[in-house]
Amino acid sequence: MSRGRPPLPIGTWGEISTRRLPSGAWQAKARYRDYDGRTRAVTRSGQTEAAAKRALRTDLAQRTPPVLDEISDRSRLSAVAEVWLAEVWAAVDAGDRSPTTASRYRQVWRVHVDPGLGERLMREMSVPAVDRFLKAVTAAHGAATAKLCRSVLAGVCGLAVRHGALTTNPTKDAGTIRVASKEPRALTPVEIARFRASARNYQAGGPQPDGRPRQGPPTTVGIADILDVLLATGARIGEVLALRWSDVDLGKEPTVRICGTLVHVDGQGWIRKPKTKTGEDRVLELPPFAVESLMRRRVEIVLPNVHDAVFPSTAGTWHDPNNIRTPWRKARDEAGLESWITPHSMRRTVATYLDGAADTRIAAQQLGDTEHTTRRHYIERDARGPAVRDLLQVLAVPPQAG
């Protein structure tokens, strides 16, 4: 017994037939298997046979976009990206993703990926197409942005693979994006002393390097105190700005608990996330210079502070890390230091000093990272070779006879 013709794949249509209507117009007709699995006859008309066919093809190509369970090779990349971004934000709500990462992905999609590839159908997402796009982004915006675009595309195409819209993820075989590695650099003791003195002078509203009085009221940022805590802990700037007085113990054995960081959430601004980047709390001993700074700050700062923040903004909210840049740059420049010195440079400085004074294990424990990560990203390389002068001299000494 014949089983009849096989069903059309979902989202496709069969052969288009045409006929002339009594009015003189033309009608085009085709069988279309819709996203609900049913096959329907779809017709469209036009003044000519070609116009009727064009109208039908346009209508069939613009049928209702698929929902989550209906992603196919005819879905546009932009439609699949909406589903993927919704999944990313659901992971944020579940505590499995950082809102900062989700916001960055959404921005990268909107600014770079959607304008470049958003209108492509999933079946058009080939390795050459992805490779050309990433190379163009690298040339125009740099390798770091291209790597973010690749991460977004990998997520969107991975979702398409899971729904059968792609057989393989084209981002996997696209060309490598090479980011120039930067060797870790640390401040010298002389540079640290100059920076601390300059930051303390700037924070107090002292005179400029040329002796002229500084205009305006003293800064409320507390840049010298922030610098001291960065140097005393090796923590990230977001972790330092997320400190609460309840995390600080200035008693007989002064310590600070690094147990949160600041993240930016669209519509909410900067909020405190009770989790560090590595996900582990750590209690660190405080050296005397940091204890002095924190004790002075505890007494002198009387800003309204509903969050119990050590470094609140003037409005009593969490301090936007971006607002640290101006006072940091001015204090650094007035100390005559180079522009590569950022808050993260203090983390590298702490790691480099502890590696030399103790070992890499101690440095890694202080930073809350693995020894491999600490060695690779935070410890400045020592260009000096080993002390082997006397050992090598033996090579030039003639052997004694007999």
On whether both 236 and 367 belong to a single domain, the answer is yes
- Output the six-digit token pair for 184: 């870790």
- CATH code: domain of residue 130: 1.10.150
- Output the six-digit token pair for 27: 């009608």
Q: Which domain holds residue 138?
A: 77-163
* Residue 309, domain member (yes or no): yes
374, with CB counted inside 10 A (0-12, 13-18, 19+), is buried
Do the beta carbons of residue 10 and residue 35 sit within 8 Å? yes
The predicted model scores a pTM of 0.70
- CATH code: domain of residue 314: 1.10.443.10
Which secondary-structure segment (H or E) carries 52?
helix 49-61
Distance CA 376, CA 389 (A): 28
Domain boundary among 125, 147, 163: 163
* Residue 68, domain member (yes or no): no
On whether both 196 and 155 belong to a single domain, the answer is no
Nearest one of 181, 178, 148 to 377, comparing CA atoms: 181
On whether both 146 and 219 belong to a single domain, the answer is no
pLDDT for 1? 41
Distance CA 376, CA 182 (A): 10
Half-sphere exposure of 99 (CA within 13 A, CB side): 18
Counted residue by residue, the chain has a size of 402
* Residue 178, domain member (yes or no): no
Distance CA 258, CA 241 (A): 10
Give all strands of the β-sheet with 255-258 in edge-to-edge order. Answer: 248-249, 255-258, 282-285
Nearest one of 8, 192, 163 to 84, comparing CA atoms: 163
* Residue 180, domain member (yes or no): no
* Residue 171, domain member (yes or no): no
On whether both 93 and 213 belong to a single domain, the answer is no
- Output the six-digit token pair for 11: 């989202």
pLDDT in tens, the chain (402 residues): 445 566 776 677 888 999 988 878 889 999 887 655 567 888 988 889 988 888 888 888 776 544 445 788 899 999 999 899 888 888 877 778 888 888 889 999 999 999 999 999 999 999 999 999 999 999 999 999 999 999 999 999 999 999 999 999 999 999 888 877 788 999 999 999 999 999 999 998 899 888 898 887 777 789 999 999 999 999 999 999 999 999 999 999 999 999 999 988 766 788 898 876 666 789 999 999 999 999 999 988 777 788 999 999 888 889 999 999 999 999 999 999 999 999 999 999 999 999 999 999 999 999 999 999 999 889 988 878 888 888 888 889 888 775
pLDDT for 123? 93
On whether both 296 and 335 belong to a single domain, the answer is yes
On whether both 140 and 86 belong to a single domain, the answer is yes
* Residue 280, domain member (yes or no): yes
* Residue 177, domain member (yes or no): no
On whether both 38 and 158 belong to a single domain, the answer is no
Helix axes 99-108, 143-162, angle to 10 degrees: 100
On whether both 241 and 300 belong to a single domain, the answer is yes
On whether both 243 and 307 belong to a single domain, the answer is yes
On whether both 318 and 371 belong to a single domain, the answer is yes
On whether both 130 and 263 belong to a single domain, the answer is no
Q: SS3 of 273, please? A: strand
What phi, psi does 26 have (nearest 5°)?
-110, 145
On whether both 276 and 204 belong to a single domain, the answer is yes
* Continuous H helices in 142-181: 143-162
Number of other CB atoms surrounding residue 258 within 10 Å: 23
Q: What domain count does the chain have?
A: 3
* Residue 386, domain member (yes or no): no
